[in-house]
Structure formats: structure tokens, C-alpha cells
Amino acid sequence: MKDKNLAAVLAFFGGSVGLHRFYLGQVGLGIVYIFLMPLAFFLGIIDAISFLSMDQKSFDMKYNKEQYRPVAPSRRDQNQPLSDRERRYQQRQRERAMRERNRRQSSGQSRSVSPMPSPSQRNAGRSPGYAEREAGLKYFRDFEYDRAIIAFKRALEKNPKDIASHFNIACSYSCEEEADKSFYHLDRAVSLGFDDFSRIRNHDSLAFLRVQPEFEEFALNGFRLVPDRTKEESLLESPVKVEETTSSDPSPENEDLLEQLQRLATLKEKGLLTEGEFVAQKKRLLG
């Protein structure tokens, strides 16, 4: 491992013949110094000053590449205490792993080794938005709920009927304490076929949602939003046919269409509609 102080000494006293360059393994550059002997003396002094002013890390990265391995910073300080939410999450992960081991041992699955799936098998059957949904789950496990929401929104733009993305984004909104958006996406998940209602009642990430006053009414309604909260979202389910009119006066049909378009824009501004859903519903309204 090269020493920067020794390199500086060699550059100062032997720079005219390129001793420091030979020491640093730069043989070609050292030969150039020999041919430039009158000028190389001053270059050696400049190199000596450069070595002495360079910090050890920069010197190692430049001249000790084969020995120097920078240490990647950890995601969090090991001495930093975990929050209550992080401790609960880690405890749940340990309990799930233990239950899975017990289940495999009881069924004898732990003794068998399943073959590694091929890339084609891993990619088979993956729906649009799968990669974005997996990225959202990774952010969710790392407690980065804002980034998880962005990823789940992208997944829903590619596949608006993805039940898992609706449920996961509902959990993320609940962790961010945005109850209205969480209720909306849970309603969408149930309307698309999600029926694991015990998970809604027991999932830790939905704890904030369960303490809301409207949750009991939501549960009694089959975990669907009550009509007075879904009259805006009903536009997503039933397209409205618009008849052409030649009259210059605004007709009731045109006023109703304008109101529906305004409601769609409001839903998009609130984040309850993705860009793809907004465009699709607008096209259906305009025929």
C-alpha cells in the first residue's frame, strides 16, 4: 500500500528523475520525467506539495485502488433507537417467520427443496404494474410511505383493477393519516373482489382508519362507502350518454355533463383518481 508522505519525499528529492512516479506504479509517466529532466525538478516539487495537501481518502482512492474499499453507509444509525411502529413491524415479521417455519415443519415441507423457477416462469402471469407494485411494497416495508404511494399510483395507472395495489395504497394512506383516500381505495378493492375483511379489522397499518368515526358505518355497509360519500365516485361505474343538441341555450343535459366533468376534476385534484382513470372517464362522458 503506497504512502502519501513517502511519495511526497520522493517527489521533492527525486522528482527530476520521476522516482515518485515509479513508486506509485506510473512507469510510463516516470520515463517522461526522465526525458524532461530540467523541467521535471519543478514538476516534482509541485507533485510533492499536491501529495501533502491531499487528504488520505483521496490519495487512497487514486493510488491504492486495489486495497481501498469504501464502506457503504448503512440505512440507519445502529445506535439510533427504533420507533414504536418499527418495533411492531419487526416483531410481526419475526412472528410470521416463526409461524411459517412451524407450518412447514408440521406439513413436512421443510424436508423438500423446491426447484428454482426459470426467468420465464418468474415472469409468467405477472399483470401490468407488477414492478411498480413490488417497488411500492419495498418502500412500504422501509416506512417510506410517501414513496410507496407514488409507486402504487403508477401501478394503478397501468392496471386500475389491481386489487392488491388498491389495498396497499389504502394502508399507505392510513399510515400517512389521510383517511378519505384510504377509505376510497379500500372501497375500490372490495368492489373489485377483495373479501378478507378480517384483515381490514386487524391489519396494523389500518389502525388509524379504524379509530375514525365513520369506520363502523363503513364496516356495516360491507366495507363499502355509504351512498352520500360515493355519489362522486359513482361516475367511475356508470357512463353517462350525452345527446347532441343544436340549441344555443344550456340544456339540463349539458348542465349535468358540466357538473360531472367538474366532479371528475375535483376527484383528480384530491388524488382519488389517477391520470389514466381521469382521461378514461372523461372520454366516456364525452362519448
Which CATH superfamily does the domain covering 128-227 fall into? Tetratricopeptide repeat domain (1.25.40.10)
pLDDT range class, residue 206, cuts 50, 70, 90: very high
- Is residue 247 packed enough to be buried (19+ CB in 10 Å), middle (13-18) or exposed (0-12)? exposed
User: Which pLDDT value is given to residue 243?
Assistant: 41
Higher pLDDT, 165 or 229: 165
Range with lowest mean pLDDT among 24-33, 125-134, 159-168, 238-247: 238-247
DSSP string, 170-223: HHHHHHTT-HHHHHHHHHHHHHTT---HHHHHH-GGGHHHHTSTTHHHHHHTTS
- Cα 153 to Cα 77, 96, 113, distances in angstroms: 31, 28, 37
Q: 18-44 in b/e burial notation, b at 16+ Cβ within 10 A?
A: bbbbbbbeeeeebeebeeeeeebeebb
> CA 105 to CA 167: how far, in whole Å?
31
- Cα 282 to Cα 168, 236, 252, 261, distances in angstroms: 26, 10, 19, 7
Q: Does the pLDDT of residue 220 top 70, yes or no?
A: yes
> CA 255 to CA 278: how far, in whole Å?
19
Proportion of the chain above pLDDT 90, given as a percent: 29
User: Which pLDDT value is given to residue 29?
Assistant: 77
User: Which pLDDT value is given to residue 239?
Assistant: 46
> CA 34 to CA 245: how far, in whole Å?
93
Q: What is the mean pLDDT of the chain?
A: 77
Q: Per-domain residue ranges for the chain?
A: 4-63, 128-227, 231-287
Q: Does the pLDDT of residue 205 top 60, yes or no?
A: yes
- Cα 49 to Cα 26, 91, 147, 155, distances in angstroms: 18, 56, 47, 56
User: Which pLDDT value is given to residue 116?
Assistant: 53
Write out the three cell numbers for 173.
Answer: 394512506
- HSE at residue 13, side-chain half, CA atoms within 13 A, is 5
Under a CB-based contact definition with an 8 Å cutoff, are residues 139 and 152 in contact? no
Instruction: Read off the pLDDT of each residue in 177-202 and give the average, rounded to a whole number.
Output: 93
pLDDT in tens, 235-270: 454 444 434 433 444 455 566 777 777 777 877 777
Higher pLDDT, 87 or 137: 137
Q: Does the pLDDT of residue 204 top 70, yes or no?
A: yes
pLDDT in tens, 3-15: 888 888 887 788 7
Range with lowest mean pLDDT among 89-98, 155-164, 249-258: 249-258
User: Which pLDDT value is given to residue 165?
Assistant: 93
Instruction: Read off the pLDDT of each residue in 157-176 and give the average, rounded to a whole number.
Output: 93
Q: Does the pLDDT of residue 152 top 80, yes or no?
A: yes
Amino acid at 10: L
The pTM assigned to this predicted structure is 0.41
